[in-house]
Structure 1
Amino acid sequence: MSGRRLYAPVVLGLLAVGGLTWLALGRTWASTRLAPAGLPPDTIAVSGRDVAPLAAALAVVVVTAALAVLATRGRGRLVVGLLVVVLGLGGSAVCLVSAADVDATLSSAAEQSPAFTGQDLGAVSTSPWSYVAAAGFLLATGLGAVTVRHGRSWPAMSGRYDAPSRSRVDDDPWKALDEGRDPTV
């Protein structure tokens, strides 16, 4: 696939990967049920945003980077692509490290429950959403690398609505008349 053909798939891919990662971080990563004798039972659950709030912020940056790829050109796209590569690797690492430490967050949440009496948490069930989030960040890393490689050849937004340059203003006779100058001089 040529470089120019990758433009739309990369932008749409960054939007999709950022959304998928945000979704995975909002799902339950671990849960347990506390059922002490004489007290009502309580189900304790923690999401990826509870476990890894930094990863949630990075997922928003991935979505924003897709919009930045649309709005920039040349070196700006190179910077955006490098930023996506770095934050993709960092976000993946945060998800994997936090998934290993999910028990501490679950214990902290259980201590806030009225059903917690200091007992063991019992059977803790975990979900694969932490790995989905990490995979999303790795996909963002790949899309960032494609942006670094091919971003300079992609089309840019039109400069049609940019402020006119000084030379263009001087060549416009109507503008000169509006300013009180003689355009024939």
Structure 2
Amino acid sequence: MSSSVPQPHTVAEPAAEPAPRPAVGRGSLLLALASGVLGAAVVLLASGKTWQKGSAPFADGGMPVSVSGHQVTAVPGALALVGLAALVAVFAVRGAARLIVGGLLALCGAGALAAALLALGDTSALDAAAATASGLSRTTVTGAATSAWPGVSAAGGALLLLAGAVALLRARTWPAMSNRYDRDTPGAARPGRTPAPAAGEERPEDLWKALDRGEDPTETS
């Protein structure tokens, strides 16, 4: 007759906590932020500068006239503001919405770039300024010259386009603004739960029950 020998119970060791994941996409995130903010700032700065200069015929001489980027075309400045809003919105949304916002950012950059390049050969705003200065309804400016600011604006649009392209390719790996609020704090106690009493510890309701039975709860057995 064989006697069964109780086997010792093996206590499973707690699983090791997973190592924290390294930051993913930090380089692309910084690239998109830097190029987007810098590109929008460059476009807005260039839009306020003088883009074209010329001379309006007046009497026996000429009257100097000039126009700013806003007067030539308001498209780059407006798209720069929309691009900034889209850059912020990339971090407020998730999933497929990030691709949509990233595409909008890329379109803003492409539009600002194209508008600045198209303005290089367009003197209609300068002709209108010459007509206003001379008082003549039909006046063609002479000696028209274009400054370097349209090219600077185009460079800013290219930076916005780069930010949008990076967002389209890498935005899924970027953290969202609300991530820190979606997870419970490790070790935090959940509300509404009363901790269980330790072994051998009397609860207040046990003392009241002992008094009802006529016992003295302070006596120790």
TM-score range with shorter-chain normalisation?
0.7 to 0.9
Q: Given the superposition, is the C-alpha separation of residues 119 and 6 from structure 1 closer, same or farther in structure 2, using an over 3 Å criterion?
A: closer
Q: 2:177 aligns with which of 118, 132, 157?
A: 157
- Post-superposition CA distance 1:34-64 (Å, at most 9, x none): 463478x643111111111122211111222
Q: Does 1:143 align with 2:163?
A: yes
1:6 counterpart residue number: 28
Matching residue of 2:80? 59
Q: Measure, in 2, the Cα distance between the counterparts of 1:19 and 1:99.
A: 20
Corresponding position: 1:74 with 2:95? yes
- CA gap of 1:8–1:120, structure 2 versus 1, over 3 A, is closer
1:91 counterpart (99, 112, 121): 112
8 Å contact kept, 1:77–1:152: yes
Q: Give the SS at the match of 1:73.
A: coil
Q: Which amino acid counterpart does residue 20 of structure 1 have in structure 2?
A: V
Equivalent residues of 1:4, 1:150 under 8 A apart: no
Please say which of residues 131-140 and 103-112 is displaced more in the overlay: 131-140
1:134 aligns with 2:154: yes
Deviations along 1:64-87, whole A, 9 cap, x unmatched?
A: 222112322332221111111222
The amino acid across from 1:80 in the alignment is V
SS at 2:142's partner residue? coil
Q: Which has the larger radius of gyration?
A: 2
| Structure 2, gaps ≥5 residues long | 1-23, 183-189, 194-221
Q: CA deviation at 1:94?
A: 1.7
Which sections of structure 1, spanning at least 5 residues, go unmatched? 163-170, 175-185
Counterpart-to-counterpart distance in 2, 1:5 and 1:117:
55
1:48 to 1:73, Cα distance in 2 relative to 1, 3 A: same
For residue 54 of structure 2, the aligned residue among 32, 37, 43 is: 32
Query: How far apart, in 2, do the equivalents of 1:82 and 1:116 lie?
Result: 45
TM, length-normalised to structure 2? 0.64
Letter in 1 for 2:34: L
Please state whether the residue corresponding to 2:58 is helix, strand or coil: coil
Percent identity of paired positions between Structure 1 and Structure 2: 34
Indicate the SS of the match to 1:156. coil
How high is the TM-score relative to the length of structure 1? 0.74
